[in-house]
Amino acid sequence: MIIGLDVGGTHTDVVLLGKNGLIRDFKVRTAPEDLFQTVLTGLEKITEGINPAEIKRAVLSTTLTTNAIVQKKDQPVGMIVAGGPGIDPELFRTNADYYCVGGSVDHRGREITPVSREEIIPIVRKLKEKGIRTVGIVGKFSVRNPAHELKIREILTETSGDSYDRIFMGHRISGNLSFPRRIATTYLNALVFPLHKDFFKAVIQSLAQKGLKIPIHILKADGGTMNFASSVDFPGQTILSGPAASVMGATAFAPAKGECLVLDIGGTTTDMAILLDQVPLLAPQGIDIGNFRTLIRSLETRSIGIGGDSHVRVENGEIRIGPERTGPAMAYGGSVPTPTDAFFVLDLIQDGDRTAALEGIQSVASELGKTAEETASEIFDRACEIIFSQARSMMEAINRKPVYTIHELQEGLQVSPKTVLILGGPAPYFAQRMNEISDYDVSVIPRWKVANAIGAALARTTCEVSLFADTQQEIAAAPEEDFKESVNRSFSQEDAVQKAFALLRQKAVRIGADADDLETEVTESQQFNMVRGFYTTGRNIRVKVQIKPGLIKGYEKIAQGIAI
């Protein structure tokens, strides 16, 4: 059996899946002030009366790290950045305790200027004085040669002993080039580390006290998973795992050919994404979150502040919905009107206090000079219009740049879906109305209330490896994997791919993948001849390989809706 748990802004959805389908599911009210307890409550409810030995794994999708960044819950983080000539690292400052230092490595990994110990020591003192225990270190071309990052870490640990909880180095965070994005990505990993570490400890300890020794994985932004223990080293990869769960939950129901818009309409937000031939689109460089442009591999998604519990009011004579959520709908004891209250007035929902909902919608209607029923219809239509408008905006943004799926670049493709799949609590109501007011073919996926948790539960473990080789220097390296070895001058592009695949398989198993369920592929392979005079002196080879995001082996029928 497998547990899937998705933490949403309003509810946390939990499912228990077996080989024959959905065994049970629960919705737990999310407590934003105590997400730890929310997750533990969900796990306790879903495992009640179940033999822990029968549970193969639990997969969590959490908003914890995302909320920490969006809400600007600043943690004291030290950043030490070496850029070298040609670029000023100060341009990419992330926080107050950000220090630019000398030392440089060129694009081929050759040292130009060494790191100065005398320059680092005063920084160490400042960090110690401020009690900073989490540090990020980034060098411009550390993915070609991490020696300077390693040297700076050595100086920090030699002079301060165990003063640091964690030191993050840019070359271990991502193997992709882009100095500004690597700085931001390293900083965000350091920023959310204390919170994610506490979350990890709380979940593990609480489960152990209850005798539940369940293998736990966590969903990443790219729609794949990693084991919980590995996530402590790369906490930034859990950012935006919620929208990824929605995409994975809808994948099996998308058309085999063509584009499809996925909408997960929750209580607080609506998450949207595009599928192409049942394959999610990928943000090729990395996600943008808050003011940070990162190298965090992610599906191409957008979240907007509109959902069933969004605050409805009148501003300048017009209905305004969201992005704020002040609590549940008035029909469920809340204090302000919401789209859910409009559904009660329209008799679409009956399991709450219709009188309270009517009172809330009437307060809006009085300002507009309309009846409560007219206002409820207008609220409903306005919510649909906002969602469609934002979806069109997302598609326009996608069409202004090359379109990537998790498999490959789609040259010249212009995204224009005609099919819409909806999941989330109010999905059936929105689907019916959207069909009436648009040209889209809108439908609800099976088990729409908990489909995101099902998507998280069934997601395969994923990862990628980047490898760089310079045959003139006779080296091959994947600094992100702590790998470097000597090669001869005949080392080829094909050799590089095979070496990268070997590293990929090792990494995948280490972070929790099933060795028999590894769908691998090459996502980038380039070779450049280095010429001096009229002669080729060597080759510069760059390859990138990945485990494809997808559904785990043996549960395909569940994903296709059979037996659930």
| Length of the chain as a residue count | 564
Rounded distance between C-alpha atoms, residue 478 and residue 146, angstroms: 10
In contact, 261 and 274? CB cutoff 8 Å: yes
- CA distances from residue 494 to 23, 500, 501 in whole angstroms, order as listed: 47, 10, 11
Rounded distance between C-alpha atoms, residue 386 and residue 381, angstroms: 9
Q: Does residue 323 have a cis peptide bond before it, meaning omega lies within 30 degrees of 0?
A: yes
Three-state SS string over 90-142 comes to HHHCCCCCEEEECCEECCCCCEEECCCHHHHHHHHHHHHHCCCCEEEEEECCC
In contact, 274 and 398? CB cutoff 8 Å: yes
Q: How crowded is residue 177: how many other Cβ atoms within 10 Å of its Cβ?
A: 17
Dihedral angle over CA of 137, 143, 144, 146, nearest 10: 30
The per-residue pLDDT string of the chain (564 residues; one tens digit each, 9 = 90 and over) reads 899 988 877 788 999 998 778 899 988 888 877 777 888 888 888 888 888 788 888 898 877 777 677 655 567 899 999 987 778 899 999 989 999 999 988 888 888 899 999 999 999 999 988 889 999 999 998 888 888 999 999 999 887 767 788 999 998 888 888 899 999 999 999 998 888 888 888 788 777 777 777 888 899 988 889 888 888 888 888 888 888 888 888 888 888 888 899 999 988 888 899 888 888 888 777 888 878 899 888 888 888 888 898 999 999 999 999 888 888 899 999 999 999 999 999 999 888 999 999 999 999 999 999 999 999 999 999 999 999 999 999 888 888 876 666 555 555 668 888 999 999 888 999 999 999 989 899 999 988 888 889 988 988 888 889 999 999 889 998 988 889 999 998 999 999 999 999 999 999 999 888 888 888 888 788 888 876 766 667 888 889 888 877 778 766 566 555 444
Amino acid at site 138: V
Nearest to 146 by CA among 188, 118, 174, 123: 174
pLDDT given at position 513: 84
Nearest to 200 by CA among 163, 233, 166: 233
Structural domains of the chain ordered from first start: 2-70+196-243 (3.30.420.40), 77-188 (3.40.50), 254-445 (3.30.420.40), 464-547 (no CATH)
Instruction: State pLDDT tens for residues 227-271.
Output: 888 888 888 888 888 888 888 888 888 888 888 999 999 888 888
Burial code (b: 16+ CB inside 10 Å, e: under 16) for 86-125 equals eeebeebebeebbbbbebbbeebbeeeeebeeebbeebbe
In contact, 309 and 328? CB cutoff 8 Å: yes
Q: Longest Cα pair distance anywhere in the chain, in angstroms?
A: 85
Rounded distance between C-alpha atoms, residue 95 and residue 342, angstroms: 44
Question: What residues have CB less than 8 Å from 557, skipping those under 6 apart?
Answer: 563
Could you please report the per-residue DSSP string of 144-182?
T--HHHHHHHHHHHHHHTT--SEEEEHHHH-SS--HHHH
Extended strands (E) in 353-418: 403-404, 409-410
* pTM exceeds 0.85, yes or no: no
Nearest to 550 by CA among 503, 522, 510, 517: 517
Going by their DSSP bridges, the two strands 312-315 and 318-321 should be labelled as: antiparallel
Burial (Cβ within 10 Å: 0-12, 13-18, ≥19) of residue 412: exposed
Number of H helices, E strands in the chain: 15, 31
Tokens 């003063």 — which residue?
A: 163
Rounded distance between C-alpha atoms, residue 430 and residue 474, angstroms: 60
Any idea what DSSP says for residue 298?
E
